[in-house]
Amino acid sequence: MLSKQLLLIDRREKTNSRKLVFAVAKEEKLTFKEYGKALGVDVNLTAEKFLVSSDGIYTEIEREVVKELLSYLTKLDEKGYQNITVKEKKKLQKLIRKVSWYIDCKIAEFIKKCKEEGITDIVLEDLRPFTGKRREIELFGYRLKANRFLRLLHLAGLKERFIQIAHNRGIRVHLTHAGYSSQQCLKCGSIDKSNRPSQSLFICRECGFEEEADRKSAVTLLLRFLYEPYRRILHTVNEVGELRPNKISLKTLKHLLIKHFNPENVSQVLESFSSSSFSPECPAECSLVEHSGCL
């Protein structure tokens, strides 16, 4: 498969000019390894643990790096964006560039760790810009207007950048619905908002199953790739063998997640996956004919 990839070429050495750094588009073939090991990844923008995986690999955001931008945004929020001066706008853009770059570096660092651990497939939630319903978002202790912040920080494009960085390392990225990944119990399958009594803890109201919340979310995302009914019913496969979520309402998603949850089968899937670390068979082979890991 071909993908357009932007390659930065630094011509400084040839021209002795600091300004001649430009980009060209080059078509490069995507190559992936055979399926070896999958990882679920929960993206968390509210705390220091930015990326948490089902395996316990995580990447932290240093609060100090984003603090300056977040407090500046809070100040401008209070003043009103229509009233900010040219100087303030320039300062804001500079801080945004710095944080965007930092976040991209953190993603690259995380993907590098995954590669070293032999990960061939990552399951990520299909991050979408926040809707009007969520007017505010809490980031590292700062409350900000959600859409504005996401637009400014280009967080809406975070998913695409994550995929690009992973592809460059030869890792497939499967996307699944973000809905209910933090609320569904891995033991009995029940879905309830109150299953997450705090930011850090998951406790099922039905069966009492307890787990660290972010890690549980990451395992839930991974399950949607490993567990055949979820994989088949909720997704389609793209041309390079990656899952993409079907367009369904939250109500339908909840209905399907509950209807197809078989406690015994799910527990078998999770146990065999964690005990062997490496799944012996490509989990997509039974239902997804075109999955490249099976070819």
Interface region with Zn ion, contact rule CB under 5 A, candidates 65-73, 116-124, 162-170, 177-185: 177-185
Per-position DSSP letters for 29-55, written without gaps between them: E---PPP--EEEEEE-SSSSEEEEETT
Interior CA angle at 56 toward 178 and 227, to 5°? 50
Residue showing tokens 């001066």: 85
Q: Does 188 bind Zn ion (CB under 5 A)?
A: yes
Q: How far is the CB of 80 from Zn ion (least distance, A)?
A: 46
Cβ closest to Zn ion, residue 207 vs residue 233: 207
207 near Zn ion, judged by CB under 5 A: yes
Among residues 92, 107, 204, 237, which is the contact residue for Zn ion, using CB under 5 A? 204
Q: Which helix (H) or strand (E) holds 256?
A: helix 250-259
Token couple for 31: 């190559």
270 near Zn ion, judged by CB under 5 A: no
205 binds Zn ion (CB under 5 A): no
For Zn ion, which residue of 185, 218, 219, 257 counts as binding (CB under 5 A)?
185
**Which of the ranges 17-25, 158-166, 176-184, 188-196 carries the binding residues for Zn ion, by CB under 5 A?**
188-196
Of the candidate residues 72, 140, 142, 209, the single one contacting Zn ion (CB under 5 A): 209
Q: How far is the CB of 207 from Zn ion (least distance, A)?
A: 3
Residue-level length of the chain:
295
Decide: is 201 part of the binding site for Zn ion (CB under 5 A): no
* Shorter beta-carbon distance to Zn ion: residue 188 or 233: 188
- Binding span for Zn ion by CB under 5 A among 41-49, 146-154, 181-189, 261-269: 181-189
Segment 38-97, which members bind Zn ion (CB under 5 A)? none
Give 108 or 207: the residue with its C-beta nearer to Zn ion.
207
**Residue with structure tokens 């007017």?**
135
Q: Transcribe 71-118 into DSSP letters.
A: HHHHHHHHH-GGG--HHHHHHHHHHHHHHHHHHHHHHHHHHHHHHHTT
CB atoms within 10 A of CB 244: 14
Q: Shortest approach of Zn ion to residue 192 CB, angstroms?
A: 9
- The DSSP H or E segment spanning 245 is strand 243-245
Angle at 218 between CA 143 and CA 147, to 5 degrees: 30
Residue count, binding to Zn ion (CB under 5 A): 7
Residues that bind Zn ion (CB under 5 A): 185, 187-188, 204, 206-207, 209
